[in-house]
Structure 1
Amino acid sequence: MVAPAVPEYVLLKPLGLRVPRRCMCMAIARFQQGIHEEEEIFVAVDARTESLQSLRELGPPDLVYLVKQPKANSTRQTGVYHHVTGIDASSSASLAAYVNTLTFSPLDKTHKVVSGIYCCYNAFSHLDMRVEVKIPGSLEAYCIDEHGDKRMATDALWLETFLCAVLRAYLYADDGSGNAIKKIVGVRRFNPVTNTEMEHKFLDAAEKLFFLGRQLSSDPETQVPNTVSNHLTSGILKYIYTTGRYTSGINLFEKLRTRDVEVSSLLARVQIMADEEVQAVRLMYDALQDVPMDYALLDCQANFCQSKGEGEMALECAKRAVTAAPSEFSTWARLAEVYVGMEQWDLALLTLNSCPMFTYQDKDTPRMPQPSRIMLPILSESILDEIDEGQPKQGDPHDYVHPSLRKLHAAGYQGTFLKAYNLLTKIAAAIGWDQLLKVRSEVFVMEEEYRVERHHEPKPAQSLGAETNGELVEEDEEEGEEDSGSVSGPGPTEPVSEPTANGNGNETPVNSSIERPEQSMASEVVKSGNDDPDPSHSTYTQFRNKRLCERWLDNLFMVLYEDLRIYTIWRTEMAQFRQQAMEYKKSPTEWEILGELAERLHHFDEGIEAYQSCLATRFSPKAMRGLLKLYEKRNDTRGMLGALIRLIAWQYRWYSEFSPELLFLMRKLIEDEGAVKVRSIVQATNLPQPILDLTHQYCQLCATFRSSGSDT
């Protein structure tokens, strides 16, 4: 089985994974020390040291580096390394213990490990905590700062490091679709909190360091990290949401609330999760008496009212939140969502246009030199024929993907641009493309209007963008979202009829009913809201009730147009092939892209159809994750468990035995159906027992935390 594509900057992780707890010793015995090997030792460690200055988030996964030498030759040494998350980093002893489990490998009896280094990043103090083990012999714990200087490791630093390690395990985990796994291939992912004792240790550290959380940065939708919006609070909430340990979360935030009333918004969110809505409403009301302009509390209120169908109440809360935090994206996005829910499309567009957009800051990833060899062995416990069959072999060409599918820029949106695009697609799905264009022209100044108003003035040709023979010419789009992508030149609204390849090399002209959107104004003449107005425009009476569309939103319209165009061509082609009783062929990767496209445009059934076509050719975690949504929608317990078993097995195949999203789905199934029924359905599945044992581990974790339904 060939590994997923690896970006040149990425390094990989150890090979073996932990199997069911009762077989843990066997797993350690089979585990080889690393998946990367380099002839010149410590190059990867030096590269990590050099990258410390550029880290801005929680830091990369932990690096484990071993030096080994042939038993018959003590002069030649090589280095092997991998990455890992979820290991207990509360002390040098716990990290050294992990290194010691890797010192013996029955698969390599000609070499011995002579030393090892475990590197774990402390994002609070911007230090790389390191434990160096000599085998046999000594252990040294120290830390490296951003300048490469060595410092002493203290208990306070280890507390910070432990908390950062838990947060990375949760926030950098894969969601089941394989996206995170393919980004950094081979990372060993463990569950950092496997019992109530570890939970107490985690929450105790979180309480002690809670008010330092803003030092850890925040989600990309938050401009300035604060007490309640940072990676620490996100990690705590994700842990509570995943495990259902609401009482532990409520107790934590109750204690913290006595020190800062702003924590009330976090407490209210956990109470709502726990179905303690009456207490949450009272809490929000009382807290707002003390901090009436706390935007996090107002946003929580707006979200709660919206979930109850109280649009007018949600609207007032959302407006106050915008007033309280006009520079935050989340408040404007919430207000736009409320307008969408109330079907006030013009106000929704105007609000969306006002959203402050931020440059996307991706998670920190390891940047390592190219290793001399990469090893990705398959453990017998993860072998499942239906997952392995049909996968491309080493040296096979990549799937063919039509160029039009490769150029769908919406697939690469992240952060604020992704959320803004989702809001735009919701409006388009609700009212249709034509009506969206009509609303757009009613609220924004369109290019034709601008021309009419300025026809009497000299007009530089370059100020109107690129136009050739009356047809719109698009500029090259950039993926850098800080620019909001590219802006197309102005052009008239016109019907589109373009040929496209059907995947077999034949071109089929398809008439699309989608109209190309007008450019609201040429980008060269658009001014921001802070620019001084042009006195010569004071007589433009048509513009009095209209706004200038932001360049980034103009670009989103063009990207949406392209999504809709490709979607329409796909559905039209499929209908034509069905009428002719012909098979409509696409490569598995193309079916994945089409499934994502349909999901983005809120065409659920068509997305499922594409994912099913992909799975008919070969297994895909992304397609199976999409199919899992269908089973959820139908309340199909057996279908959900079948999908979960396969996703868990695929994750284990790539050295990940922990996914918060998959654990959450398993917990919800056990709550709804009971642990006995879930275990019985899993065990009755006609799959190898080692594969079923992997799923039973998730069930056992629910029992350990005494989740609802786990005792039935």
Structure 2
Amino acid sequence: MCSYPRLRVPRGCGLGLTLRTLFRIHEEEDIYVAVDARTESLQSLRELGPPDLVYLVKQPKANSTRQTGVYHHVTGIDASSSASLAAYVNTLTFSPLDKTHKVVSGIYCCYNAFSHLDMRVEVKIPGSLESYCIDERGDKRVATEALWLETFLCAVLRAYLYADDGSGDSVKRIVGVRRFNPVTNTEMEHKFLDAAEKLFFLGRQLSSDPETQVPNTVSNHLTSGILKYIHTTGRYTSGINLFEKLRTKDVEVSSLLARVQIMADEEVQAVRLMYDALQDVPMDYALLDCQASFCQGKGESEMALECAKRAVTAAPSEFSTWARLAEVYVSMERWDLALLTLNSCPMFTYQDKDTPRMPQPSRIMLPILAESILDEIDEGQPKQGDPHDYVHPSLRKIHAANYQGTFLKAYNLLTKIAAAIGWDQLLKARSQVFVMEEEYRVERQHVPKPATSSGAETNGNSPGHEDDSGSVTGPDPTEPSSEETANGDVGESQTESPLERPEQTVASEVVKSGKEDPDPSHASYTQFRNKRLCERWLDNLFMVLYEDLRIYTIWRTEMAQFRQQAMEYKKSATEWEILGELAQRLHHFDESIEAYQSCLATRFSPKAMRGVLKLYEQRNDTRGMLGALIRLIAWQYRWYSEFSPELLFLVRKLIEDEGAVKVRSIVQATNLPQAVLDLTHQYCQLCATFRSSGSDT
């Protein structure tokens, strides 16, 4: 749960004013320290950059010598020119709640990830305006029109790709970021897509999702942002027009065009496009992956398998192609090949989104807005100074909750297999395809080893292909590494769980060090002729999965015992939230909903409400979905986030299915304060502005 420091303001204190008139989050006595810290961090930025920084200098009206600085972060502001940024600063210069101070200057900082420059607009009040940019060395440079175009596009991409999904995870990472919708009408959409077209082939400079090793023309933050915008707003025609124009310059753009056509239910055109494009670029892995995804969605696993295999051949160093092949094998219930494919996935170090590195402020103010006041959100929330929820140590040390990037996706694939066949069968399949430590030790004892030999290497072929020479020799792996020991520690309550702890495999790093000379006796290891060495990271995933299942089993056993005795099973709200996430990871949907509902019975949690929302989606419960959306939108606004692409998408889909009139009527009939309902009406109005399907009904 969120434990931010809060400024509790009694009702009726005149907070019905707009957020712009009173927004002050961080305050520091030494002015410009936060700006200097941002300048120093520029050389370490690797992604799209942090949210924009807005810094104001204020002084008492009666004493012009003492100045203090206040600042906050923001996304979604129009950064196409210095004038638009200065206009935002000007909206912050007057506060009716603070009549003793005046704002004398302001700086708006917005990062340009194309040119690695921090664009800045400095406003003197009253009077001058200066725009310039700061490079990674801290030197001043001239801000040109070309740089402003790049900055505008980066600002839109940050607003979409760094937005919160409704669960509150992104909101909680950085305290007090104002999040606005960067594209509020068709005019702004045209401006955004026009900039995207002009800079499209520079997109690989913007890095990419953590699952992509090397950014390319169709896999980077620019293409991800465009696709997310189209998916969120349903503006398929605009997306198709953009990619059709770009496709004339580079046929590889066909994969993006096909994805948008599939979103728009233009599947016949998409299939024809993919077929025609593959005649020109037969080894385009993005197109092959798109084909595999489409076939898989239609239940044509055999066709998807061929496409996925070709995609792996085309891009063997990319995680996404191997992950797709593993997914296809899972859908075909070929568990051994799924595990072997998963073992071959190239894993990348997770590169997190850029976040601000600010000095500790002297004071933090987080005013609560009247529009977001809702009793059920307020009740039970921890106040500043209250002790944190008790969380059992076993729940605190769950490793799977911290996975990101390729390791998160690989773990999801492993849990899908476990959910389909059970833990015991998963261990059996594991022992059939990977060399286990005990059998390796026994086999090694029976094979005479020449005195001059110190080890051997292993033939590691791609999964799904038989290998008649795959044998192993090497140093004795009986001593576990520190990493294995840490992941194998399941706690004192291990005996409470009936689960069998996974036997240690022989990891490839242990057996094949790359330094030993070949062992001529390796041909004697006939038992391992068709087995592979398990990568250490996958070995660790099995240990982490065991820990997840162990804790889950103990939880369900305890609950059953308490129910038999007609006793209440008590957990703190945070513990229920963790258990809900645990069950969700393990694909136990009903149990996750049960935990999330128990959490909400104690106090409001955006993550729990987001989980319950999935239940309403599954049941096609329109009223339940809207009830959850109203509360999530209000909670987001409470933390200054006026825009969440995921919540906008859900509102749009409801309007598409039920019609705008029905959706608005259900929202209005809800027994909640009108100011709270108006926040949801704003999302509905946005759908009407973009003429989404159903909005004219």
| TM-score calculated relative to the size of structure 1 | 0.91
Q: Deviations over 1:392-440 (max 9, x none)?
A: 1111110000010011100000000000000000000000000000000
Q: Structure 2 counterpart of 1:550, which letter?
A: E
| Ranges in structure 2 where 5+ consecutive residues have no aligned partner | 456-473
Structure 2 residue aligned with 1:627: 612
Question: Residues of 2 paired with 1:635 and 1:310: CA distance?
Answer: 27
2:674 to 686, 689, 693: 689
Question: Residues of 2 paired with 1:433 and 1:253: CA distance?
Answer: 45
Quote the offset at 1:107 in angstroms. 1.1
Taking a change above 3 Å as real, the CA distance of residues 79 and 3 of structure 1, as seen in their structure-2 partners, is: farther
Question: Residues of 2 paired with 1:662 and 1:157: CA distance?
Answer: 32
Cα pair 2:15 2:370 within 8 Å, conserved: no
Q: Structure 2 counterpart of 1:298, which letter?
A: L
Structure 1 residue aligned with 2:585: 600
**1:109 counterpart = 2:99:** yes
Structure 2 residue aligned with 1:400: 390
Question: Residues of 1 paired with 2:492 and 2:173: CA distance?
Answer: 35
**1:56 counterpart = 2:56:** no
Quote the offset at 1:449 in angstroms. 1.0
- The DSSP-based 3-state class of the residue aligned with 1:515 is coil
Q: Which consecutive segments of 4 or more residues in structure 1 shift more than 6 A?
A: 457-462, 528-532
Structure 1 residue aligned with 2:640: 655
**1:4 counterpart = 2:17:** no
- The DSSP-based 3-state class of the residue aligned with 2:493 is strand
Taking a change above 3 Å as real, the CA distance of residues 311 and 529 of structure 1, as seen in their structure-2 partners, is: farther
Cα pair 1:464 1:524 within 8 Å, conserved: no
- The DSSP-based 3-state class of the residue aligned with 2:557 is helix
**1:254 counterpart = 2:244:** yes
Question: Residues of 2 paired with 1:302 and 1:524: CA distance?
Answer: 32
Taking a change above 3 Å as real, the CA distance of residues 334 and 689 of structure 1, as seen in their structure-2 partners, is: same
**1:526 counterpart = 2:511:** yes
Structure 2 residue aligned with 1:561: 546
Q: Deviations over 1:554-592 (max 9, x none)?
A: 000000000000000000000000000010000000000
- The DSSP-based 3-state class of the residue aligned with 2:498 is strand
Structure 1 residue aligned with 2:525: 540
Cα pair 1:465 1:524 within 8 Å, conserved: no
Q: Deviations over 1:326-365 (max 9, x none)?
A: 0000000000000000000000000000000000000000
| Ranges in structure 1 where 5+ consecutive residues have no aligned partner | 7-11, 17-22, 468-473, 478-484, 490-495, 501-508
Structure 1 residue aligned with 2:362: 372
Please show how residues 363-442 of structure 1 align to structure 2 within 5 Å.
363-442=353-432
- The DSSP-based 3-state class of the residue aligned with 2:499 is strand
Quote the offset at 1:4 in angstroms. 3.1
Question: Residues of 2 paired with 1:566 and 1:151: CA distance?
Answer: 56
Q: Structure 2 counterpart of 1:621, which letter?
A: P
Cα pair 2:200 2:222 within 8 Å, conserved: yes
Question: Residues of 2 paired with 1:48 and 1:638: CA distance?
Answer: 45
**1:705 counterpart = 2:668:** no
Question: Residues of 2 paired with 1:159 and 1:166: CA distance?
Answer: 11
Question: Residues of 2 paired with 1:441 and 1:574: CA distance?
Answer: 33
Question: Residues of 2 paired with 1:237 and 1:211: CA distance?
Answer: 16
Taking a change above 3 Å as real, the CA distance of residues 567 and 691 of structure 1, as seen in their structure-2 partners, is: same
- The DSSP-based 3-state class of the residue aligned with 1:83 is strand
Structure 1 residue aligned with 2:469: none
Question: Residues of 1 paired with 2:105 and 2:646: CA distance?
Answer: 36
Quote the offset at 1:539 in angstroms. 1.5
Structure 2 residue aligned with 1:240: 230
Cα pair 1:319 1:335 within 8 Å, conserved: yes
Taking a change above 3 Å as real, the CA distance of residues 218 and 532 of structure 1, as seen in their structure-2 partners, is: farther
Cα pair 1:523 1:551 within 8 Å, conserved: yes
Structure 2 residue aligned with 1:27: 18
Quote the offset at 1:529 in angstroms. 9.1
Quote the offset at 1:136 in angstroms. 0.4
Q: Deviations over 1:231-269 (max 9, x none)?
A: 000000000000000000000000000000000000000
Taking a change above 3 Å as real, the CA distance of residues 562 and 138 of structure 1, as seen in their structure-2 partners, is: same
**1:71 counterpart = 2:61:** yes
Quote the offset at 1:15 in angstroms. 13
Question: Residues of 1 paired with 2:557 and 2:511: CA distance?
Answer: 38
Taking a change above 3 Å as real, the CA distance of residues 700 and 60 of structure 1, as seen in their structure-2 partners, is: same
Taking a change above 3 Å as real, the CA distance of residues 352 and 5 of structure 1, as seen in their structure-2 partners, is: farther
Q: Deviations over 1:125-166 (max 9, x none)?
A: 000000000000100000000000000000000000000000
2:72 to 55, 60, 82: 82
Quote the offset at 1:185 in angstroms. 1.4
- The DSSP-based 3-state class of the residue aligned with 2:182 is coil
Taking a change above 3 Å as real, the CA distance of residues 399 and 523 of structure 1, as seen in their structure-2 partners, is: farther
Structure 2 residue aligned with 1:42: 32
Cα pair 2:391 2:574 within 8 Å, conserved: yes
Q: Deviations over 1:267-303 (max 9, x none)?
A: 0000000000000000000000000000000000000
Question: Residues of 2 paired with 1:159 and 1:604: CA distance?
Answer: 45
Cα pair 2:475 2:511 within 8 Å, conserved: no
Taking a change above 3 Å as real, the CA distance of residues 532 and 363 of structure 1, as seen in their structure-2 partners, is: farther
**1:317 counterpart = 2:307:** yes
Taking a change above 3 Å as real, the CA distance of residues 530 and 702 of structure 1, as seen in their structure-2 partners, is: farther
Taking a change above 3 Å as real, the CA distance of residues 617 and 532 of structure 1, as seen in their structure-2 partners, is: farther
Taking a change above 3 Å as real, the CA distance of residues 294 and 514 of structure 1, as seen in their structure-2 partners, is: same
Structure 2 residue aligned with 1:352: 342
Question: Residues of 2 paired with 1:5 and 1:348: CA distance?
Answer: 43
May I ask how many residue pairs the two structures share in their alignment?
A: 670
Cα pair 2:86 2:108 within 8 Å, conserved: yes
Question: Residues of 1 paired with 2:417 and 2:192: CA distance?
Answer: 42
Structure 2 residue aligned with 1:492: none
Question: Residues of 2 paired with 1:379 and 1:616: CA distance?
Answer: 24
Structure 1 residue aligned with 2:277: 287
Structure 2 residue aligned with 1:464: 477
Moved more, 388-397 or 51-60: 388-397
- The DSSP-based 3-state class of the residue aligned with 2:237 is helix
